[in-house]
Amino acid sequence: MNTFLKLGGVGKQYDENTRVLQGIDLEIRQGESVAIVGPSGCGKSTLLNIIGTLDRPTEGTVFFGDSDLLTLNEKELAEFRNRQIGFVFQLHHLLPQCSILENVLVPSLVNKEAGDAQARALRLLERVGLSERLMHRPGKLSGGERQRVAVVRALINQPRLLLADEPTGSLSREGADSLAELLLELNREENLTLIVVTHSMRVAEKMDRVLSLERGNLKPET
Ligand SMILES: Nc1ncnc2c1ncn2[C@@H]1O[C@H](COP(=O)(O)OP(=O)(O)OP(=O)(O)O)[C@@H](O)[C@H]1O
Ligand SMILES: [Mg+2]
């Protein structure tokens, strides 16, 4: 079977004293759902940023299908991120002056193949319970509501890979469960591959695989 995502010997050293990742080997199949857990500061966001090409490893290789991501130029990387990857950041980075609907449509503006992004936006916002808030600004929403908007924005271009950094962090238990269910439904319906960083074992255990990041290395959580 073709590999979807493959990391080989990925290491990251920020400076002399901060080596965060060392020799990470990771293979993920298309359509898989993977949770990454580990203590604060262990390098989870660093790893997601490297997979999402927002940061470069100090050493190692990152392949997406046949494409060697570390050889792409900035323009190719921007297009790759826009078309293939949905990113839910730990801090959601919504545009304060735009409405909820406008915020989730931003990634579709530069994607000529976005199709009917507005219809998809309305459908997804309804699924996360935000239909009544389309014209609100993010500043009027709770932390959990903003997080759901950020998830919908990440999904708007029908990415093949969703990288989510604590997507349920500021949600109630019920909110976290229903967001995790939404991601898993899209995982089944659209063959969306999921990599979810979470502190919640409850959320992690819904995924096909749980990996634990400890001392710079990934291992299966037992
Ligand atoms: N740009 C940077 N320069 C230097 N050190 C950094 C930088 N970014 C992160 N670090 C350090 O690397 C380590 C890993 O950070 P990272 O954000 O990946 O952790 P994390 O596992 O996501 O933590 P959390 O669960 O708190 O979000 C931390 O010690 C952090 O201080
Ligand atoms: Mg983090």
pLDDT at 162: 97
Q: Which residues contact 108 (CB under 8 A, 6 or more apart)?
A: 114, 117, 121, 156, 157
Residues listed for the chain:
222
* Angstrom distance (rounded) from CA 112 to CA 54: 22
Is residue 6 assigned to a domain? no
CA distance linking residue 149 with residue 91, whole number of Å? 12
> Counting ligands in written order, which one lies closest to the CA of residue 37?
1
Kindly list the protein residues whose Cβ atom lies closer than 6 A to any atom of ligand 1: 14, 18, 20, 38, 40-46, 90
Note the pTM of the prediction, 2 decimals: 0.93
pLDDT attached to residue 86: 95
In a domain, 185, yes or no: yes
Distance (Å) from CA 39 to ligand 1 centroid: 11
Residue 112 has pLDDT above 80, yes or no: no
Q: What is the pLDDT of residue 170?
A: 79
Nearest protein CA to atom 27 of ligand 1, as residue: 40
Instruction: Tell me the best of 17, 42, 200 to mutate to test the pocket of ligand 1, counting ligand atoms within 8 Å of each CB and taking the most.
Output: 42
For the cut 90, the answer to whether the pLDDT of residue 134 exceeds it is yes
Give, for ligand 1, the residue of 13, 14, 15, 56 to mutate: max count of ligand atoms closer than 8 Å to Cβ: 14
Out of 16, 17, 44, 200, give the residue to mutate to test ligand 1, the one with the largest number of ligand atoms within 8 Å of its CB: 44
Asked if 43 and 190 count as a contact pair (C-beta separation under 8 A), the reply is no
Residue 216 domain flag: yes
Question: In the structure encoding, which two tokens stand for residue 195, read together?
Answer: 């990599």
Q: What is the pLDDT of residue 175?
A: 85
Question: Residue 1: what pLDDT?
Answer: 54
pLDDT at 65 over 90: yes
d(CA 64, CA 8): 12
The pLDDT assigned to 6 comes to: 97
Q: Looking at the domain assignment, is residue 9 inside a domain?
A: no
pLDDT of the residue at 221: 85
pLDDT top residue among 176 and 61: 61
pLDDT at 27 over 90: yes
Residue 205 sits in which domain range?
A: 30-54+83-220
pLDDT recorded at residue 160? 96
Q: What are the Cα distances from residue 98, in Å, to 102, 127, 135, 145?
A: 6, 21, 9, 15
pLDDT for 61 equals 97
Separation of 104 CA from ligand 1 center, angstroms? 27
12, part of any domain:
no
pLDDT band at 110 (very low <50, low <70, confident <90, very high): confident
Q: Are 140 and 172 in contact (CB under 8 A)?
A: no
Q: Which ligand lies nearest to the CA atom of residue 46 in the structure? A: 1
Minimal-distance CA residue to ligand 1 atom 5 = 14
User: Which CATH number fits the domain that encloses residue 106?
Assistant: 3.40.50.300
Query: Is residue 199 domain-resident?
Result: yes
Q: Which of 57-61, 73-77, 139-143, 184-188 has the lowest mean pLDDT?
A: 139-143
76 occurs within a structural domain: no
pLDDT of amino acid 43: 96
Looking at the structure of the chain, the number of domains it has is 1
Q: Kindly state whether residue 62 falls inside one of the protein's structural domains.
A: no
What residues have CB less than 8 Å from 213, skipping those under 6 apart? 36, 37, 38, 42, 43, 44, 47
